[in-house]
Structure 1
Amino acid sequence: MTEGDRHETSTRSFLACAAEVARLLNLEAAAGVPENRRARHLAGTARRPLLERATLPEEFFDPLMAAAVYDPDPSFCRWFVEPALYAFGRRRVMTALLGYLRTGTTAEQAGARRAWYCAHLPLRADRSPAYAPGGSRDPALDEADDVVDQWLESSSAQRRDRHASGSHDQA
């Protein structure tokens, strides 16, 4: 598979993920937007409505995580991670990313690494209506020290395995 083929496959996967999030929000499909910009357009259109909701239905979680992992631009995967953090909690988001790291394809593992950075965003009561009126939320949603430890252990094991096999690719 050539680099161009990989990019096209990644772009199509991201488009499918962004389109699913947009569908769940009942947003327009962006039919008039050129295909090479459609995924980013859908992601941008979904960003504000996602952050403006105090809660998200359960059906949003997997599509948000997939969109974050498949987003090829590390600057923008935040658009999916951040609303998931507020709605579902840091622990659940990090656990999902750990799953991609452990069992995903090489591309999914790389996407999980990009999204992991965003999973550490500071959560602020003024940023989301997901907080109670007094600016509080259940701390158990965001307690993730054990998940961070598991991430570090899995990342180290993968680096050792790549080094032992002679592969120095930065996936």
Structure 2
Amino acid sequence: MADEEHDEAAARSFLTCAVEVACLMDLGNAADVPEASRARHLAHAVRKPLLERAHLPEELFAPLMAAAVYDPDPSFCLWFVEPAVYAFGRRRVMNALLDYLRTGTDAERAGAERAWYCAHVPLRADRSPAYAPDGRRDPALDESRDVMDAWRETLRASMRTNSR
């Protein structure tokens, strides 16, 4: 596939993901925004409402992870990863990204690697209402050492396979 075709397919995939997240948040699909900038417009529109909620519905988890993985700009995939980490926990987010790394397409694996960096976002009680009023949350949500070990092992195995 030519680079231009690949970029166009990736942009369409990201737009699909961004539309799904926005619709699940009842923010519409921004059909009045030109298609070339619609995905980024929607990503911007959902960022604040996602962070303002103490809880996110379960049906948002997979679309948030897909949007993070398909976002072509590593500077912006944080807009999907950060609220997912607060609402669903770092452990669950990292496990989802690990699944993309293990079983995804080349584009999905690359996107998972971009999003993995964002999954390490520092958590602050003043940043999200996902924390209890006393500023605490269940530490099991964020325990991820074993997932990080699995990530490193998966990368090593992939490198060994690719070097053959």
Q: Residue 139 of structure 1: CA displacement?
A: 0.2
| Structure 1 moving runs of 4+ over 6 Å | none
Q: Which letter maps to 1:123?
A: L
Matched with 1:91 is: 91
Q: Percent identity?
A: 70
Gaps of 5+ in 2: none
Q: Residue 28 of structure 1: CA displacement?
A: 2.7
Q: Matches of 2:101 and 2:126 in 1, distance apart?
A: 32
Matched with 2:129 is: 129
Q: Which letter maps to 1:119?
A: A
* Cα shift readout 1:137-166 (whole Å, capped 9, x = no counterpart): 0000000100000000001111111122xx
Gaps of 5+ in 1: 165-171
* Cα shift readout 1:99-124 (whole Å, capped 9, x = no counterpart): 00000000000000000000001000
Q: Residue 30 of structure 1: CA displacement?
A: 1.2
* Number of residue pairs the alignment of both structures matches: 164
Write out aligned runs for 1:96-107 (5 A). Answer: 96-107=96-107
TM-score after normalising by structure 2: 0.99
Write out aligned runs for 1:39-78 (5 A). Answer: 39-78=39-78
Write out aligned runs for 1:100-115 (5 A). Answer: 100-115=100-115
Q: Which letter maps to 2:129?
A: P
Q: Residue 11 of structure 1: CA displacement?
A: 0.2
RMSD of aligned Cα (Å): 0.5
Q: Matches of 1:139 and 1:152 in 2, distance apart?
A: 22
TM-score after normalising by structure 1: 0.95
